[in-house]
A and B are shown apart, each in its own frame.
Chain A
Amino acid sequence: MFYLSELEHSLRVPPHLLNLPLEDAIKSVLQNVFLDKVLADLGLCVSIYDIKSVEGGFVLPGDGAATYKVGLRIVVFRPFVGEVIAAKFKESDANGLRLTLGFFDDIYVPAPLMPKPNRCEPDPYNRKQMIWVWEYGEPKEDYIVDDACQIKFRVESISYPSVPTERAEDAKPFAPMVVTVSSFIKLVL
């Protein structure tokens, strides 16, 4: 689920941080740049692991800030295909389920990958949502997929859609990293 990635980055440390010890100042600038951002093909950056090297410290003419070249390691969230992860249910619609991990919400279970047999019913309480019901067992019992279950899923694919240049007014917020999964549902009450 989590990997370490080694990067090299040139950054400028703004003058108001110059009173801090160098490592702290660099770490805080790095956190603003990388934390909670998705890097293409690397994944979601979760944390700065450590700083391996710092070079430079030159002040360019006309600028009050020092520029450093920093080698660092970050922890990224990048599930691999075939990994099994536990998540919670977030919302569902006719196309399938959406699950959340707390720090990452764009996990989709498309309808063809739901455990079979199943059926979909309109939700009586919320018009935009549909309830998915898993029919299992002999005789058939209905297991309703909702907040009470903890869902374990296996990752089928990850995609990093590119930033859209134009969008419709009511489109969903842009998701830079989308994980498509198939699910096994485990009931935990």
Chain B
Amino acid sequence: MKIMKANAGALTNFELLDFLNSRGASKDTTRVIAPIARSEYKVYDYLVETAASTQTRESVNKSADKCKDFKLAKAEILNIINLWPSSIVELLPIIENLDDREIDTDGILELVKDLLPPLPTAESPRENDEEETENGEQS
């Protein structure tokens, strides 16, 4: 076995979910019929619970383009698309040296809100708590 290229490109969670879906993975009992291994199904189960399950190819492309305007590093853009932060609390750990770089965090949160329906696990009852902890959140 020879490794030709260790890194031939990064995949977002959405792209992997799309790939598994195109091979026939699904949540219901047709699992036995589709040509997907059990270990791949474990990955599928994990991805379905993240923000990737409600994203579409257009929304991912659009958000990647707009994030370039915000002067974010490639790794940060990948993190934002995978995690889909809906509040400042979730955005802070992703971006380093926030103050030095003058990143428009409100702009990023607006972008997330515009492009997407809410995450599969309903988080609205928790939003009040997150706003209160925003100032004191330690990382």
Contacts and interface: CB of A to CB of B under 8 A. Distances in A.
A1 interface: yes
A90 interface: no
B121 A36 contact: no
A86 interface: yes
A49 B40 CA distance: 12
Interface of A: 1-10, 31, 35-36, 41-42, 46-47, 49, 71, 73, 75, 77, 80, 82-86, 101-103, 115-116, 136-138, 150, 152, 154, 184, 186-189
Nearest to A31: B37
B43 A103 contact: yes
A35 B42 CA distance: 12
B136 interface: yes
A46 B40 contact: yes
Question: DSSP class of A's interface residues: helix, strand, loop or mixed?
Answer: strand
**B interface, how many residues as a size bin?**
35 or more
A72 B8 CA distance: 11
B6 A83 contact: no
B16 A2 contact: yes
A8 B2 contact: yes
Contacts of A84: 79, 83, 93-94
Interface of B: 1-13, 15-16, 19-20, 37, 39-40, 42-43, 45-46, 50, 75, 78-79, 82-83, 89-90, 93-94, 96, 121, 123, 126, 129, 133, 136-139
B26 to A, nearest CB: 16
A3 B8 contact: yes
27 contacts: A1-B11, A2-B12, A2-B15, A5-B6, A6-B3, A7-B1, A7-B2, A7-B4, A8-B2, A8-B4, A36-B39, A46-B40, A47-B16, A47-B40, A84-B83, A84-B94, A85-B82, A86-B50, A102-B45, A103-B39, A103-B43, A115-B139, A136-B133, A152-B83, A186-B90, A187-B126, A187-B129
Given A4-B9, A186-B90, 12 more contacts: A3-B11, A7-B1, A7-B2, A36-B37, A47-B40, A47-B43, A84-B93, A103-B42, A103-B43, A138-B136, A152-B93, A187-B126
B7 to A, nearest CB: 6
A2 B11 contact: yes
> 10 tightest A-B contacts by CB?
A103-B42, A36-B39, A6-B5, A102-B46, A4-B8, A6-B4, A2-B11, A8-B2, A9-B1, A103-B43
B11 A7 contact: no
A7 to B, nearest CB: 6
